[in-house]
Amino acid sequence: MMYRDLFEFWKNERDSDKLVKLPPDFYLQIAEYIKKLGEEERMLDKKTLKASLLRGETRNVKRMIYELMRIRYKKFVQIWAQGKKVPPETLTPQEEKIFPSSSSFAEAFQNFASNILRGQLPNVGVERTFRRVTVRFLKDVPAIIGADMNAYGPFKSEDVASLPVENAKVLIKQGLAEKIEA
């Protein structure tokens, strides 16, 4: 991966309303690129012009990667909020593993991005099961994305639904639903 390649992917993702298809090894290449930049930087005298330019390149690369991943994250959330599925052809293998298996999409994506920015390709194959609770809605509630990354709702007052515990707690605390004892 070169700077100009990353720039093109970033620009295309930024300028498109849809998810851009990335190469399957995109994150691996990015992690290797950042690792290589870090190794090069460690080998140079920090006071030289080359070291200064390398630090600037590293800073710009990390900014572009962070922005690209933030844009993709927003697009994923928008797709899920509309109750649609993310087109599988637009996901890298790592993204495919993150999204359905994570308890907190935001947390998993943040950890994933953090690892990439450190030059490491994270292990993302961890599975998690979700406890559920049955609630009765006291007020109308728009559709939500559950902790299990599934879409739920919209709900009308008096509707009954089984939701992940994390979501039910929030709804109960806000006075929008009440737990139904089994």
pLDDT of residue 141: 92
CATH number (domain holding residue 158): 3.40.5.50
Task: Compute the average pLDDT of residues 138-142.
Answer: 93
Number of domains in the chain: 2
Question: 122 in a domain, yes or no?
Answer: no
Give the torsion sign (CA, 41, 46, 50, 55): positive
Query: 163 and 113: one domain?
Result: no
Instruction: Please indicate, yes or no, if residue 61 is contained in any of the structural domains.
Output: yes
* Angstrom distance (rounded) from CA 158 to CA 58: 54
> Which segment of 59-63, 128-132, 160-164, 166-170 scores lowest on mean pLDDT?
128-132
For residue 9, the surrounding DSSP H or E stretch is helix 3-15
Q: Are residues 89 and 144 in the same domain?
A: no
At 72-121, the pLDDT tens digits run 988 887 877 676 777 888 888 888 777 654 345 656 677 777 777 777 76
Give me the DSSP letters along 79-148: HHHTTPPPPGGGS-HHHHHHHHH-S-HHHHHHHHHHHHHTT------------EEEEEESS-B--EE-TT
> Which residue segment(s) compose the domain that 152 sits in?
132-179
- Whether residues 88 and 142 share a domain: the answer is no
Distance of CA 39 to the CA centre of its chain: 27
Query: With contact defined as beta carbons under 8 Å apart, do 127 and 100 qualify?
Result: no
Q: pLDDT by residue (tens digit) across 13-26?
A: 999 999 999 998 99
Of the two residues 114 and 133, the one the predictor is more confident about is 133
Beta-carbon contacts of residue 46 (< 8 Å; ≥ 6 apart): none
Q: Is the pLDDT of residue 45 over 50?
A: yes
Q: Is residue 146 part of a domain?
A: yes
Note whether 46 and 14 are same-domain residues: yes
Q: Which residue has the tokens 């609770």?
A: 133
Same domain, 37 and 82: yes
The tokens describing 42, both together, are 């460690």
Query: Domain for residue 123, yes or no?
Result: no
- How much is the pLDDT for 38? 86
